[in-house]
Amino acid sequence: MTTIGPNIKVEGQISGDEDLTIYGRVDGTITINANVIVAENGQVHGTLIAKEVIVIGHVQGTINASSLLVLEQSARVVADIETASLRMEAGAQLSGDVIMDLDGEVPTRPQKKSSPQTKPAPKATPKPAPKATPKPEPEPSADEDEYEEIDDLNELTVKELRELCQDYDLSTKGTKAQLIKRLEESE
């Protein structure tokens, strides 16, 4: 078992084949072919991919637990989740999309059909935009004429990137970097 201590901050990618416990902070992508525990004061900001994930601390980004995701009482998760099985204790907090399959296999998100004639901009607020208007509500610092093209896909959330991928009939699975690459290649 590998441990990231409480006074350690890791930025970048972590991968391996043995269990990992995080007491510190990780900003980036974690790909473990075993189990990951995010301890009570542990934090993950990015993508977390493992067989089984137990969250006692905080996760923000994306979680893909191929076997089981456990959110214990003190867990605070703001993430899009794909898992075969989810166990959430009373008191755990979760905000994000959850994709599960009743047969125990992680499904792929169904693709909606649309014509990729113009590149839609991401929604600026969680409330849905009218279907006849492809432009989102403007952000205070943005120019209204600059919504046709997104300058930096890195500034979008994983959820917004997945929505763009859906609009272009592209796969919505993968890390933020994979989604950005897929969108850039489709241009």
What are the tens digits of pLDDT across the range 122-173?
A: 444 444 444 444 445 445 444 333 334 566 777 788 788 888 888 888 888 7
Q: List, for residues 47-79, the tens digit of each pLDDT value.
A: 999 999 999 999 999 999 999 999 999 999 999
The answer on pLDDT for 46 being more than 70 is yes
Domain match, 88 and 125 both:
no
Angle at 24 between CA 22 and CA 30, to 5 degrees: 50
Domain boundary, last residue among 48, 80, 99: 99
Answer whether 35's CB lies under 8 Å from 54's CB. Answer: yes
> pLDDT above 90 covers what percent of the chain?
48
Per-residue confidence (pLDDT) for residue 168, from 0 to 100: 82
Answer whether 45's CB lies under 8 Å from 61's CB. Answer: yes
Q: How far is CA 172 from CA 108, 181, 184, in A?
A: 8, 12, 14
Domain boundary, last residue among 99, 126, 141: 99
Domain boundary, last residue among 58, 76, 99: 99
161 by Cβ neighbours in 10 Å (0-12 / 13-18 / 19+) ranks as: buried
As a whole number, the mean pLDDT across the chain is: 79
Per-residue confidence (pLDDT) for residue 141, from 0 to 100: 45
Domain containing residue 16: 2-99
Answer whether 24's CB lies under 8 Å from 44's CB. Answer: no
